Amino acid sequence: MDKNLQEEEFTQIIKFKPSLNKQRHQFVRDLVEKYKPKKVADLGCADCSLLRMLKFSSCIEVLAGLDICASVMKEKMHTLSPLPVDYLQPSERSLTVTLYHGSVAHKDPCMLGFDLVTCIELIEHLEESELKKFPEVVFGFMAPRIVVISTPNSEFNPLLPRVMLYRHPDHKFEWNQAQFQSWALETARCYDYSVEFTGVGHPPTGMEKIGFCTQIGVFVRKHPQTGESVQAEKPTEAVYKTVFKAVYPSLKDEKYLQNAVIGEVMFTAQIIKHRLMSKCEEYGDDPEKKSKFQPSMDCFSDYLGKLVIEKNMEPFVSGNEVYIPLARIFSFPKVNRLCGTFEKLCKLIAGKVTLSSDGSAVMLNTEPENEDN
């Protein structure tokens, strides 16, 4: 088939599903799943859509966005704030999201110590002078373990409807595969990274040579570096302006952990009480059965007997109170996981939960829960 005719036909039908933008972001997400970075910076983050997706990756604790255009970042930055549910159920990981206004042509210490730096459809927006400085800033100064760079593949343009010179009026250039790969290989060589090429947006069958619609280079640093040594060696002045910062509620923060533990302790205690009271009702008239689940029910008035029971794991009733040993509550997996140690449990609930005189059991009223108040 005549090549021009073939391409002409394709201009009518090339449409990516999911959209190229979604495919690029999914590519980054897969990379995050593979490498599990803790700190990720997105350069040229625009409307923060990639950051919005990445905040759900549970390995990430620090997310940063940088863009030279403050207004585009500000448009939707509120969507990066914690939601009410984040406060109701704080996550086990900590997460801080920060947006900076500045240029990738400038170094700022806030960009040190990242594990992954993403530059999705950024480099083609850079002026020649900025593009020259970019490798030194990203690979020389920031020096993350991984850098991912995506950019349009100009060889694909004839297949795209309505593309005349470039895909976007702000693009300063668009490279073919050879141009991108030689720039990337030279950059990798200079800064001691390896680079692999891939992309998203498959070419039509029979036209594989033109490559992916979006070409991607994944750079991996060849030698490990510790965050501290990097920072110590690279004193620079702060030039970026912070335009947004959100610290998510996390169980790593003692005040959220305490709330969560108290909630879980009371919930667990109510469950144990409920089970005990149901058994009481069920076996209440049968002294033989009663003694099986509550062997010392008849010796509550005996102070010594009560002490013995309090050391036990079994809940018991005395007068109008139900005593649920903390040791029993601690044996519940969620409480156990939240606190780690029995001592920590005691410390976190001290003064916040009504305990028996020796502090070994949670005390609840025997009345049904909804009549407690």
Binding site for ligand SAH (CB under 6 A): 21, 43-46, 49-50, 66-69, 72, 103-105, 120-122, 125-126, 130
State which residue has the least CB distance to ligand SAH.
Answer: 44
For the beta carbon of residue 288, count every other beta carbon within 10 angstroms.
Answer: 7
Phi, psi (degrees; rounded to nearest 5) at 240: -80, 155
Q: Which is nearer to ligand SAH, 115 or 124 (CB)?
A: 124
**DSSP bridge pairs for 365:** 321
Q: Which is nearer to ligand SAH, 24 or 221 (CB)?
A: 24
C-beta of 97: minimal distance to ligand SAH in Å? 16
Cis peptide before 235 (omega within 30 of 0): no
C-beta of 166: minimal distance to ligand SAH in Å? 13
Q: Which is nearer to ligand SAH, 137 or 251 (CB)?
A: 137
Q: Which is nearer to ligand SAH, 64 or 335 (CB)?
A: 64
C-beta of 121: minimal distance to ligand SAH in Å? 5
Q: Which is nearer to ligand SAH, 49 or 198 (CB)?
A: 49
C-beta of 71: minimal distance to ligand SAH in Å? 9
The three-point CA angle 213-52-104 to 5° equals: 65
Q: Which is nearer to ligand SAH, 8 or 30 (CB)?
A: 30
Q: Which is nearer to ligand SAH, 69 or 363 (CB)?
A: 69
Phi, psi (degrees; rounded to nearest 5) at 63: -125, 130
How far from 294 is each of 106, 265, 273, 322, CA to CA, in Å? 72, 22, 13, 12
Q: Which is nearer to ligand SAH, 130 or 136 (CB)?
A: 130
Q: What is the DSSP string of 39-102?
A: EEEEET-TTSHHHHHHTT-TT--EEEEEES-HHHHHHHGGGGSPPHHHHHS-BSS--EEEEEE-
C-beta of 103: minimal distance to ligand SAH in Å? 4
C-beta of 251: minimal distance to ligand SAH in Å? 31
Contact 214, 153 (CB under 8 A): yes
Contact 95, 250 (CB under 8 A): yes
- Helices (H) and strands (E) counted in the chain, each on its own, are 14, 11
C-beta of 348: minimal distance to ligand SAH in Å? 42
Sheet holding 214-221, edge to edge: 193-200, 214-221, 146-152, 116-120, 39-43, 62-67, 96-101, 241-247
C-beta of 29: minimal distance to ligand SAH in Å? 12
d(CA 364, CA 323): 7
